A and B are shown apart, each in its own frame.
Chain A
Amino acid sequence: MAMQHVPGTDRGRVFLYALSTCGWCAKTKQLLTDLGVGFSYVYVDLLSGEERDQVVNEVERWNPQLSFPTLVVNETKVIVGFREDEIREAVGA
């Protein structure tokens, strides 16, 4: 399964779309981990075929520029890029 879950405090549905090669995606993932927030993530560059198309469409819906990291909190708040203060605020940590 492409989607990974990192266990932690429940702050709602926290979903990270990331690239396995990207330094800013790594920083975002590390921040969420350090904050102890439960979240799911997927490395879009490691997907292929239909699964990849499906996830790419999902990211584009939140962020038409299809850039990474794209963090979606509770299917309402979208944060594009490693914006530490915004991320902390969105997950209430």
Chain B
Amino acid sequence: MSNPQQRKQQMSVLDRLQRYLPQLVIAPPFLLLVFFVYGFIAWTGIISLTNSRMLPTFDVQGIQQYVRLLAMDRWNVAFDNLLIFGSLYILFSITIGCVLAVLLDQRIRAEGALRTIYLYPMAISFIVTGTAWKWILNPSLGIESYMQKLGWESFQFDWIVNRDMAIYVVVLAAVWQASGFVMALFLSALRTVDEDIIRAAHLDGASTTRIYFGIILPSLRPVFLSAFVILAHLSIKSFDLVVALTNGGPGYSSTLPANFMYEMAFRRNQIGLGAASAMMMLATVAAIIVPYLYSELRAKRHG
């Protein structure tokens, strides 16, 4: 039998354990996160300052890899492609998604089925999307040959093998995949809009178009912002779609920075250059995410 004093001590150990339990549970994943995410970001940052080739070295040389990178045509093509791809992808996904959401919001029949049909592409992996669109757009297999077989001999749709147009094919496939998701995002937001607002606007004499574009969509600013941020970071890290659809070709005309990074770091034994391009991508993401987080957190503090 334990005397009361001993028991008191036992209790206090248990109490202490209970008090520190949350920290104890949180600590291991937190440390792993710090090490594997932020640790490796720092590691990549250091590597990008060295002239590592096949194996990493830690002999810091300065910014020469960045100078090399910015002088490479391949990188500049990839970065220009990112600008084209990113802006068109975001623009079309949001526009199409938004219009689909507004149309589906009209209390139509079979809405559930249609919603699933439009949302479904998001459930498919980029590799599958890329492969399917590769077949559809292949001039000798897909749309072009089909239309020609139907009798339209002069029909041409060969963007996928055209140096100047290949990146737009990537946009096409990516928009097909993402606009359903954007639609779901907008539809759920539209459903939270007070129906009385629409009624009031009807009584005020506004047309349905005017109600959507003048009142409802402007009040969905946070949803636009979320959609933008999600699509922006998706576009910057796009990699597999390009691999499956065009494999960066013809030549390197449709590569994106992520493909460039993979090519340099893991195929051409240019780890330093690859690391430098990875840091450039990180900076691009940060340029978008940081202002977003800042505005979100600030809004919460003021809210």
The judgment on whether A and B are partners is no
Interface residues of B (CB under 8 A from A): none
Interface residues of A (CB under 8 A from B): none
